[in-house]
Chains A and B, each alone.
Chain A
Amino acid sequence: MTSDSRLRPIRVLVAKPGLDGHDRGAKVLVRAFRDAGFEVIYTGLFQTSEMIANAALQEDVDVVGLSILSGAHMALFPPIMLALKTVGRDDALVVAGGTIPDEDIPAVLALGISRVFGPGTKLQDATQYIRDHAPVREDTP
């Protein structure tokens, strides 16, 4: 079952948290992930941490991608990670992208976000990272 489930498309949530209307990057990623064979759920703009966690829960995604260009990542990421834990989806792989300064990256990673993709990231590096790190989950009927 384990090996079989990995043959299924990886499900990815691409979310735009907070007051940030710049979604060109997020849309490019949606397209790149789609072309990499992932099933991508796009949340749209202005998502609260509860909205993101709820979508991650209902859509049972393997991966949550947070795109942020507002500079508010240190304010928004902690409540998102907490909300994911609250709904029981802290097993998802969480990655972030956007304008996150290098000096903030250690603090972002310390929150449990596994990778930060900054400006200039190659799309295939992001998709390959997700392919390599998306969790495989086990279930009982």
Chain B
Amino acid sequence: MAGLSERILAGDNLALARLLTLLENGDDVGTEALDRLFTNTGRAWITGITGPPGGGKSTLVNELIRQYRSAGLSVAVVAVDPSSPLTGGATLGDRIRMTEWHSDPGVFIRSMASRQFGGGLAQNTLAVAHAFDAAGFDHILIETVGTGQDEVAIASLALTTLLVQVPGTGDGVQTLKAGALEIGDILVVTKSDRPEANELARDLRRLRTLVFEPVDDPDHWEAPVIKTSATTGEGIVDLVQAIEHHRQWLLTDNRIVRRRQIIASTEIATRVESGLRRRLLQRADEASRLDSLVDAVVSRELTAHRAAEQLLAGFGQENRQP
């Protein structure tokens, strides 16, 4: 039987689904298959959707699928939900909002558990997106875990980031805060049929006019604020147009290259970090050094900072040996 990579390029969804599992697990077979597929990536447009739990992200994704499908474009969805910090288990419930596409071969929805990665994503989210890209999907929508004020990782993964904000969840001071609000390429006010939606959209728009020095950076993108309602259909077409505007803007003056450099360097750095952490803790554990350092910190002989330094120092020496 042909390997996964050949089968995926031949359009075999069974092989694609299997590869997604292997990539999610960091399995060597998956990594090797992605090596073979990687030259086929870089064609899909990757849009990230982030925002609070119950904010309407999955419903918004469902509406975006509808728009792209009616334009004849294929769509893959990566929907991340949180893993239990206690048991490692997870309830993945995003596809409930997207059941109408079950017989449409142009739509592929995959749920992922975050497995404690943080930032509203799973460690291997981008690898999964690469696999969808290689399989030829036009649009990849990455829906994060329900997030709060500080989960900004999606912005260094996606080409366009939608930040969902929900009416009625705080006053205008919330819109002045740093963090997630700054990373949205497009700010989406969902549930716009609610009375507080206009107020929230107004507060978010004011952020743009509240600039103390005029921005003349040609690479400055003004994030539009778009009100949407899946109930009335308001704003969905505008949102698709805004994503397209952002795409055209990135494709102008080679901005896309800089964006892809950020994405690639983030992906490399993330892998280096997790690889080092794993190796370091494995070695420390073997030498039962970690346990004794933990005891030293608990008995107040050593700060955690110094314990970490000791582990890191030992690691460097081991690596210098031939």
A residues with CB within 8 A of B: 1, 4-5, 8-9, 11, 30-31, 33-44, 47-48, 50-51, 54-55, 57-60, 87-89, 137, 139-141
Q: Which of B29, B89, B110, B115 has most chain A Cβ within 10 Å?
A: B89
Instruction: Evaluate contact between A140 and B103: CB separation under 8 angstroms.
Output: no
Give the Cβ gap from B37 to chain A, nearest Cβ, in Å.
9
A113, B33: Cα distance in complex, Å: 33
Instruction: Evaluate contact between B87 and A35: CB separation under 8 angstroms.
Output: yes
Chain A residues with CB under 8 Å of B96's CB are: 42-44
Instruction: Evaluate contact between A1 and B89: CB separation under 8 angstroms.
Output: no
Residue of A nearest to B76 (CB): A58
23 contacts between A and B (CB under 8 A): A1-B27, A5-B25, A9-B83, A11-B21, A30-B91, A31-B91, A36-B89, A37-B84, A37-B89, A38-B89, A39-B90, A39-B92, A43-B95, A43-B99, A50-B102, A55-B102, A57-B17, A58-B108, A58-B110, A139-B4, A139-B18, A139-B22, A141-B36
Give the Cβ gap from B196 to chain A, nearest Cβ, in Å.
29
Asked if B113 lies at the interface with its beta carbon under 8 angstroms from chain A, I say yes
Asked, given contacts A9-B113, A44-B99, A55-B95, whether A35 binds B25 with beta carbons under 8 Å apart, the answer is: no
B residues with CB within 8 A of A: 1, 3-5, 13-14, 17-18, 20-22, 25, 27-30, 32-33, 35-36, 83-84, 87-93, 95-96, 99, 102-103, 108-111, 113, 115
Tally of contacts, chain A with chain B, CB under 8 A? 105
A17, B20: Cα distance in complex, Å: 26
Residue of B nearest to A45 (CB): B96
A28, B4: Cα distance in complex, Å: 36
Instruction: Evaluate contact between B20 and A60: CB separation under 8 angstroms.
Output: yes
Instruction: Evaluate contact between B4 and A137: CB separation under 8 angstroms.
Output: no
Asked, given contacts A34-B87, A139-B22, A141-B29, whether A40 binds B95 with beta carbons under 8 Å apart, the answer is: no
Instruction: Evaluate contact between B27 and A40: CB separation under 8 angstroms.
Output: no
Instruction: Evaluate contact between B111 and A59: CB separation under 8 angstroms.
Output: yes
Give the Cβ gap from B112 to chain A, nearest Cβ, in Å.
9
A33, B96: Cα distance in complex, Å: 18
Chain B residues with CB under 8 Å of A140's CB are: 1, 3-4, 29
Residue of A nearest to B93 (CB): A42
Chain B residues with CB under 8 Å of A40's CB are: 89-92
